[in-house]
Homo-oligomer: A and B are copies of this chain.
Amino acid sequence: MPADAVLVVAPHPDDETLGVGGTIARAAQGGARVSVLTVAAHMPPLYSEEVHRRTVAEARAAHAALGVAESVFLDIPAVFVRDRPTHELNGMLVEAVRRLEPRVVLIPFPDRHVDHRAVFDAAMVATRPVGPGRGIAVVACYETLSETHWNAPHIEPSFTPNWVVDVTATIELKCRALACYASQIHPFPAPRSIEAARALAAFRGTQAGFAYGEGLHVVRMTAPVEALLRNAT
């Protein structure tokens, strides 16, 4: 049912799990149909075909662990997303919104990685509250370790969450999904380590009233107040 559709837009494989792996798992367990749209791929010219195959396989394993219903890969070469004509990239995302009719859309924060910015821009256009975007109840940005926190403080936008989802029940699942990304996740104290992801979740969570959380920046919400009353746990 469209009323249960969640769309997560990931610039590259692993961003969706780093950012909202726990939220995806929780929503999926709660009956939502979660789709992950991965825009860029670690493919030629900057990466080998071998790396491409491996990272897509890792993504599929991680998505399966989290309960993702549908995984779409747009296969634009990493670091070249900005080079696509604006209308073409926008069109790809508009098409996804039109087909999936999501109520919730989670997109990357525009950070140090040039692809993250390009994907954010296109997602902001595709989720405008007109046409296919009119049915969306909330658009929010997620953070990704070792990119989001490398924006220049007070020159570029800083990620400060105004929405934290309690993922205490799914933090282990998230860590397991992260472990699927063997080529992307490194041992502590690497900035993209499982320990760093767990630390961020404990920091976000404890400051929001629970144990583990995932932080989001609400960009646009049109849900009625009543939505937040009945189902809030």
Contact indicator A225/B155 (Cβ below 8 Å)? no
Q: Which residue of B lies closest to A46 (CB)?
A: B87
For residue A120, which residues in chain B have a CB less than 8 angstroms away from its CB?
A: 152
Distance A168 CA – B189 CA, assembled complex (angstroms): 10
Whether A203 sits at the interface, judged by CB under 8 Å, is yes
Interface size on A, residues (CB 8 A): 93
Q: Which residue of B lies closest to A149 (CB)?
A: B207
For residue A4, which residues in chain B have a CB less than 8 angstroms away from its CB?
A: 229-230
How many copies of the shown chain assemble into the complex? 6
Contact indicator A230/B229 (Cβ below 8 Å)? no
For residue A153, which residues in chain B have a CB less than 8 angstroms away from its CB?
A: 154, 160-162, 217, 219-220
Whether A23 sits at the interface, judged by CB under 8 Å, is yes
Whether A157 sits at the interface, judged by CB under 8 Å, is yes
Contact indicator B218/A163 (Cβ below 8 Å)? yes
Contact indicator B217/A155 (Cβ below 8 Å)? yes
Interface members, chain A 203-225 (any B CB < 8 Å): 203, 205-213, 217-225
| Least CB distance, A84 to chain B, in whole angstroms | 12
Among A36-44, A65-73, A124-132, the stretch that binds chain B is A124-132
Contact indicator A226/B154 (Cβ below 8 Å)? no
For residue A213, which residues in chain B have a CB less than 8 angstroms away from its CB?
A: 222
Whether A138 sits at the interface, judged by CB under 8 Å, is yes
Provide the A42-85 mask, 1 if CB < 8 A to any CB of B, else 0.
Answer: 00001000000000000000000000000000000001101101
For residue A225, which residues in chain B have a CB less than 8 angstroms away from its CB?
A: 6, 23, 26-27, 30, 32, 104, 165
For residue A5, which residues in chain B have a CB less than 8 angstroms away from its CB?
A: 229
For residue A3, which residues in chain B have a CB less than 8 angstroms away from its CB?
A: 229-230, 232
Whether A112 sits at the interface, judged by CB under 8 Å, is yes
8 A-B pairs (CB sep. < 8 Å): A3-B229, A79-B86, A83-B85, A109-B155, A149-B207, A155-B217, A199-B200, A227-B230
Beyond A26-B224, A124-B152, 14 additional contacts (C-beta under 8 Å) are: A3-B232, A27-B229, A110-B155, A137-B228, A145-B206, A146-B206, A162-B162, A168-B189, A189-B202, A190-B206, A224-B232, A227-B227, A227-B231, A227-B232
